[in-house]
Amino acid sequence: MASMVARVNYDYQSRYLFSASMRADGSSKFAPGKRWGYFPAASAAWRFSSEPFMKSLRVLSDGKLRVGYGASGNNRVGDFAYLPQLQLTSRNFWYSAGNAPLSIGSYIQSAGNPNLQWETNEQTNIGLDLAFFRTSRLSVTIDAYHRTTRDLLLNAALPYGIGVESGFGLKNIGKLQNRGLEFTVVGVIVEKKNFNWSSNFNISFNRNKILELTEGQTSILSGNGTFFNTTYSSLFPYISVKGRPMGEMYGLQFDGVYQYSDFDLMPNGTYLLKADVATNGAARTAIRPGDIKYKDLNGDLQVNNQDLTIIGSGLPKHTGGFSNNFVYNNFDLNVLFQWSYGNDLINGNRYVFEGGLVNNPNLNQMASYANRWTPTNPSNTMFRAGGMGNAAYSSRVVEDGSYLKLRTVSLGYNVPVAILKRAKIKNIRIHTSAQNLYTWSRYSGTDPEVSGRDGNLTPGFDYAVYPHSLSYVAGINVTL
């Protein structure tokens, strides 16, 4: 990796500000001729509070309008990703040459792409900084931004005729748009001789949209693989559709539980699903009262892949934080809250422990499954034992992931200087703090802030993820 930067700044009486830069980054992760990326940036600001016509407005102590543009690069791919790579193996790839004994063979693990280049982020923003009163006891910052990411470094589907076993390879594909607003308010609420109280509040809104995908592609499925059970390994719980946000949850819409009224009672005492009632993916003759039920979106009375739809989004509507600092004599206290609102989570634990997709009669279940459907308890929210049907991701386990968390509480005490002078000590500070004290959330899992899958294409998947731990720290700092 090598980088070069050139920058120029201009400042006129701290009233008119201008800055411009050019950055060149080179990376050996790309092929010769594609290794260098060039990323310009420029910004300007106007401190309008310094203008003569603003002098009479005493309530405003500082005001500045900002605009900016900047580009940055991303080279986060594996080493030598532009070269084809072979993998030696002793499984399924033996061969013989010249009538010699069988030898270990190799296969194409990844297809080289000499055209890989830097992923580029371009962002334009406009901001407003305001400070009020003579001592700037109240300040407000507002930022709006528009960011476009092009030439994304992602795995794209390849023709199987190329010979790559996985069927995927790295490409610069697609274009992604992010737009957002950020607000920050900082204020000194109380300022007395022995007591001070200051607060900081921030909230962020972000929306993203996929503008382009690879050649002629309209959507990308993601999240398959043996993650919590092999019966789900070929299913994709996420989809990214052109013109929509990336990484939306994908599956069937849960529609309750089949009841006796959905069946005809046959002469031999068995039940047959009525002809005008949609199946759940299983054969009509195999469905029983108490089985799980899904919505038939296309109206063909058969639930299948044609009924898959978007069932949730891991993208929050807004996130934020609220901190308060208190100082009383030699004591200081900090309390920090953080939140996320409007995002969904896939609670994968419920597939295993709320109905038991694993064929193990000794596997414990969640307490919620005690209220499952039985002939004497016709529940419409929890299917009968053995009534989960075919493997499918569905909205049944998509939950509201919004939360408010008491993130940090810290308390400190500074020993008075008058006491320390006798011992020739400059300072003694005693402090204690706690992290992740309490979470307010309607999520049924252990922690709505976790995700078992990395990446923006698979947000908000919870299965056997260890929650953020409650921790306590205490200490003493001594300065001689």
Q: What is the pLDDT of residue 106?
A: 74
Taking the mean position of all CA atoms in its chain, how far away is CA 26?
29
Q: What is the pLDDT of residue 94?
A: 64
Q: What is the pLDDT of residue 90?
A: 60
442 Rama sector, left if φ>0, alpha if ψ -120 to 50, beta otherwise? alpha
Instruction: Identify which of 318, 465, 469, 459 has the alpha carbon closest to the alpha carbon of residue 398.
Output: 459
β-strands 60-74, 119-132 pairing: antiparallel
Per domain, the residue ranges of the chain are: 2-255+309-479
β-strands 36-46, 16-26 pairing: antiparallel
Per-residue pLDDT of the chain (480 residues; tens, 9 = 90+): 899 999 999 999 889 999 999 999 999 999 999 999 999 999 999 999 988 888 888 889 899 999 999 999 999 888 888 888 887 766 666 666 677 776 777 777 788 888 899 999 999 999 999 999 878 899 999 999 999 999 888 777 777 777 776 777 888 888 999 999 999 999 999 999 999 999 999 999 999 999 998 777 899 898 887 666 778 888 999 999 999 999 999 999 999 999 999 999 999 999 999 999 999 999 999 999 999 999 999 999 999 999 999 999 999 999 999 999 999 999 999 999 999 999 999 999 998 898 877 666 778 889 999 999 999 999 999 999 889 888 899 999 999 999 999 999 999 999 988 888 877 888 999 999 999 999 999 999 999 998 888 778 899 999 989 999 999 999 999 988
CA dist 120 and 127 (Å) reads: 23
355 Rama sector, left if φ>0, alpha if ψ -120 to 50, beta otherwise? left
Q: Per residue in 42-72, is it b (16+ CB within 10 Å) or e — as a string?
A: ebebebebeeeeeeeeeeebebbebebebbb
Class of domain 2-255+309-479: mainly beta
β-partners of residue 22 are 6, 40
Which residue bears the tokens 């993998």? 87
Strand order in the sheet with 461-462: 398-400, 344-347, 461-462
Yes or no: say if 450 and 468 are a contact pair by the CB < 8 Å rule. yes
Tokens of 14: 């701290």
Length of the chain: 480
Taking the mean position of all CA atoms in its chain, how far away is CA 84?
32
Instruction: Identify which of 401, 406, 392 has the alpha carbon closest to the alpha carbon of residue 338.
Output: 406
Q: What is the 3-state secondary structure (H, E, C) of the chain?
A: CEEEEEEEEEEECCCEEEEEEEEEEECCCCCCCCCEEEEEEEEEEECHHHCHHHCCCCCEEEEEEEEEEEEEEECCCCCCCCCCEEEEEEEEEEECCCCCCCEEEEEEEECCCCCCCCEEEEEEEEEEEEEECCCCCEEEEEEEEEEEEEEEEEEEECCHHHCCCCCEEEEEEEEEEEEEEEEEEEEEEEECCCEEEEEEEEEEEEEEEEEECCCCCCEEEECCCCCCCHHHCCCCCEEEECCCCCCEEEEECEEEECCHHHEEECCCCCEEECCCCCCCCCCHHHCCCCCEEECCCCCCCCCCHHHCEEEEECCCCEEEEEEEEEEECCEEEEEEEEEEECCEEEECHHHHHCCCCCCCCCCCCCHHHHHCCECCECCCCCCCCCCCCCCCCEHHHEEECCEEEEEEEEEEEECCHHHHHCCCCCEEEEEEEEEEEEEEECCCCCCCCCCCCCCCCCCCEECCCCCCCCEEEEEEEEEC
